[in-house]
Amino acid sequence: MADDLFTPTITPTAYAGPRRPPWRPGSLIYPAILGGALAGTTLALINAGRLRLPARDTLAIAGAGLVALAARVLVTTMLLDGRVSGPGRVVGALCGALAWTVANLLQKGRFRSYEMRGGEPTSLVKAGIAATLGLGLVEGLIIVLAGGLR
């Protein structure tokens, strides 16, 4: 049967279960919006590893995260005098949402395939709260430092 459709393409090791189950990509919006682009992107990159995303997609997530973080730092320091509360908080949420949008687009299909193989997502609650508080604070410090340099 000379038909490339009927050529085996599934290798035994390529689809072994992940070392740790991934998070639902849609849930990453919470730390991304509440904690900012740094928190959202860090969790999205960990999730990319768990979902075995291709290197190109992982780099795109990292790139979008960096752009979102740079945009937040620039807008907050240049237009809002380094204030992270009030409108500064909204800018942080929008930049987090931007980083999440790219991560979600690139991870959704891979996560759904994982689900179709019977995989279950793991809870994001602990890691999400830790990233929101810890990395949200780091992002705030970066803004303060950038404001000081200006």
Partner 1 sequence: MTAPEQQLARVVALLEANRPEQALTELGKVGGSAATGRLAYRCRTVALSELDRWDEVAETARRGLAEVGPDAELLGRLGRALREQGALAPAERALLDALALEPEDPWLLCQYADLCTSVGQTDKAGRLVDRAAALAPEEPAVYASRIQLAYARGDDRSAQRAARDFLGRHPDHPAALALHGSVAVTAGRVGEAHRSFGRAVAHDPADADYAEAAWETRVYAHPLLLPLRPLYRFGFRLWFAAAAAIVVLNLAGLQVAALVVSVLWVLYCVWSWIAPPLVRRLVRGRWRA
* Distance between CA atoms of residues 140 and 41, nearest Å: 15
Q: Nearest approach, Cβ of 84 to partner 1 (angstroms)?
A: 13
Identity of the residue, 11 or 148, whose beta carbon is nearer to partner 1 in the bound complex: 11
Helix 125-149 to helix 37-50 angle (10° resolution) is: 130
Identity of the residue, 118 or 148, whose beta carbon is nearer to partner 1 in the bound complex: 118
Identity of the residue, 69 or 91, whose beta carbon is nearer to partner 1 in the bound complex: 91
For residue 13, the number of C-alpha atoms closer than 13 Å in the C-beta half-sphere is 0
Helix 87-116 to helix 55-79 angle (10° resolution) is: 170
Q: Nearest approach, Cβ of 87 to partner 1 (angstroms)?
A: 5
Residues near partner 1 (CB under 8 A) are 1, 3, 5-6, 8-12, 14-15, 17, 26-27, 29-30, 33-34, 86-87, 89-90, 93-94, 97, 100-101, 105, 108-110, 112-113, 116-118, 123, 125, 128
Q: Is 143 left (phi over 0), alpha (psi -120 to 50) or beta?
A: alpha
Strands (E), the chain: none
Identity of the residue, 116 or 149, whose beta carbon is nearer to partner 1 in the bound complex: 116
**How many residues would you count in the chain?**
150
Q: Nearest approach, Cβ of 143 to partner 1 (angstroms)?
A: 18
